[in-house]
Amino acid sequence: MKTSADLKAEILVALAHPNRIRILELLRKDVMCNCELAPALELEQSNLSRHLKILVQAGILNSWKDGLRVNFKVTDDRIFKILDVAAAIARKETEKKVEALQS
């Protein structure tokens, strides 16, 4: 049986790629089809599919077919709080580095 730490790690590992974060940022606004995500992210379909699969397996995204389209939606909007906190930490660290360079 997986521990709480294991489950948290699975989510964080799924987030640990810039393209997967970019996918989530696009899905922050609305449901999208893989046919819309690929050109928006300038990714090959095979590359996009690999990233989407990881996000679905981690429980971060839901997917469903609508004719030939495969749509994706974030399962829980709290995932964006994680991304927002990470962005705030990154900004703070960047500011520290800029201050250090200016000293």
In-domain check, residue 68: yes
In-domain check, residue 95: no
DSSP classification of residue 91:
H
- Look at the chain and report how many structural domains it folds into: 1
Q: pLDDT at residue 100 above 90?
A: no
Tokens standing for residue 85: 């906190």
Q: pLDDT at residue 97 above 80?
A: yes
Q: Kindly report, residue by residue over 9-59, the tens digit of the pLDDT.
A: 999 999 999 999 999 999 999 999 999 999 999 999 999 999 999 999 999
Contact 61, 75 (CB under 8 A): yes
Q: What is the pLDDT of residue 9?
A: 96
Quickly state the pLDDT bin for 103 (edges 50, 70, 90): confident
In-domain check, residue 88: no
Quickly state the pLDDT bin for 101 (edges 50, 70, 90): confident
Per-residue pLDDT, averaged over 54-75, amounts to 97
CATH number at residue 21: 1.10.10.10
In-domain check, residue 97: no
Domain encompassing residue 50:
4-76
Greater confidence (9 vs 97) lies with: 9
Burial of 4 (0-12, 13-18, 19+ CB in 10 A): exposed
